[in-house]
């Protein structure tokens, strides 16, 4: 299979984008079992390996330009494949330029601040990519499904009123606009898993001892709120997919397709930024040339040790 073209990755990403202002009603509006026609699992796995090269190149340019940061938000229900997507999509990038943050139950310190505070602490610096495994959207998802959690946030009574979710949608949209205006691009991905596939994955975790650690009884309790979560995600997608930070809904029933789709989305967003290696001034270029001339004048440049082995006999190659 030929390496995927950027135009092909863009078409895939665009097909999964939620148009700003549109209404999404899950599960009917988006098929969790969808996969692009004409592509097999083997082809998707091969294409995913090729995307690693593109991601590595973009990451190098992003770091060198030192102007933009990228926050990749990955949301999804339990067993939707968040960890696997992060591991497989970002496997080829430089760890020094990527940070992964998993947001669990907030601590007492975090609950003593505004609800966006703990997420703001983990935003990427310019030139970096930050991945949020769950994110600030938990504040309009899990907190909405379990409104008793609002009490633990020490909010004034007026802030817990009937319009709290509408206000939070507005606040999140404006926060993301602020980040975008300051060079921090927010890329939002929802891994859309079907109820049947979640059940199959839960059973797989229970039936295989090596996977038992992934399962918690709390997962089954949360599954009982499936319909409430579908409604909450529908509201999030409908109210917070904006021109500056659109949502992408990735069908997650087929892990191989979901991972390729996530890679396509991240690459396309980086392509839209189009970071470039900085060019040096004439004075710097002249200084570099003078430094090179001085180094060359010292004498012939010997090849690296690894290369010299190619020119020796077999017996020499055995020595370290």
pLDDT band at 287 (very low <50, low <70, confident <90, very high): very high
- Computed over every residue of the chain, the mean pLDDT equals 92
The model's pTM is 0.90
The pLDDT value given to residue 306: 67
Q: What is the pLDDT of residues 155-197, one digit of tens each?
A: 998 888 889 999 999 999 999 999 999 999 999 999 999 999 9
The pLDDT value given to residue 314: 46
Q: What is the pLDDT of residues 32-58, one digit of tens each?
A: 999 987 789 999 999 999 999 999 999
* Residue 134 structure tokens: 């769950």
CA nearest neighbour of 284 among 276, 274, 292: 292
Q: What is the pLDDT of residues 188-224, one digit of tens each?
A: 999 999 999 999 999 999 999 999 998 988 889 999 9
- CA pseudo-torsion sign 242, 243, 245, 249: positive
The separation between the first and the last C-alpha atoms of the chain, rounded to the nearest angstrom, is 38
Q: What percent of the chain has pLDDT over 70?
A: 95
């Amino acid at each position: 299979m030929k390496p995927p073209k950027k135009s092909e990755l863009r078409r895939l990403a665009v097909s999964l984008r939620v148009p700003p202002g549109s209404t999404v009603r899950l599960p009917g509006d988006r098929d969790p079992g969808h996969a692009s026609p004409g592509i097999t699992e083997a082809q998707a796995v091969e294409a995913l390996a090729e995307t690693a090269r593109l991601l590595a190149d973009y990451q190098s340019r992003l770091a060198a330009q030192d102007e933009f940061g990228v926050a990749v938000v990955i949301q999804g229900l339990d067993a939707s494949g968040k960890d696997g997507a992060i591991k497989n999509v970002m496997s080829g990038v430089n760890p020094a330029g990527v940070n992964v943050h998993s947001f669990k139950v907030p601590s007492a310190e975090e609950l003593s601040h505004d609800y966006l505070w703990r997420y703001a602490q983990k935003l990427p610096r310019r030139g970096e990519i930050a991945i949020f495994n769950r994110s600030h959207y938990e504040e309009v998802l899990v907190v909405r499904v379990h409104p008793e959690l609002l009490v633990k946030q020490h909010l004034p009574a007026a802030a817990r009123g009937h319009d709290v979710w509408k206000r939070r949608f507005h606040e999140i949209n404006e926060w993301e606009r602020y980040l975008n205006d300051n060079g921090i691009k927010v890329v939002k991905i929802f891994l859309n898993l079907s109820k049947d596939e979640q059940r199959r994955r839960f059973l797989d975790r229970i039936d295989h001892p090596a996977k038992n650690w992934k399962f918690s009884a709390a997962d089954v309790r949360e599954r009982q709120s499936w319909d409430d979560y579908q409604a909450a995600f529908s509201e999030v997608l409908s109210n917070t997919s904006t021109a500056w930070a659109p949502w992408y809904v990735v069908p997650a029933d087929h892990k191989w397709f979901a991972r390729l789709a996530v890679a396509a989305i991240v690459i396309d967003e980086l392509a839209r930024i189009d970071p470039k290696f900085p060019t040096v001034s004439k004075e710097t270029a002249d200084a570099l040339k003078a430094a090179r001339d001085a180094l060359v004048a010292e004498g012939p440049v010997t090849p690296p040790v690894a290369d010299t082995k190619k020119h020796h006999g077999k017996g020499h190659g055995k020595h370290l």
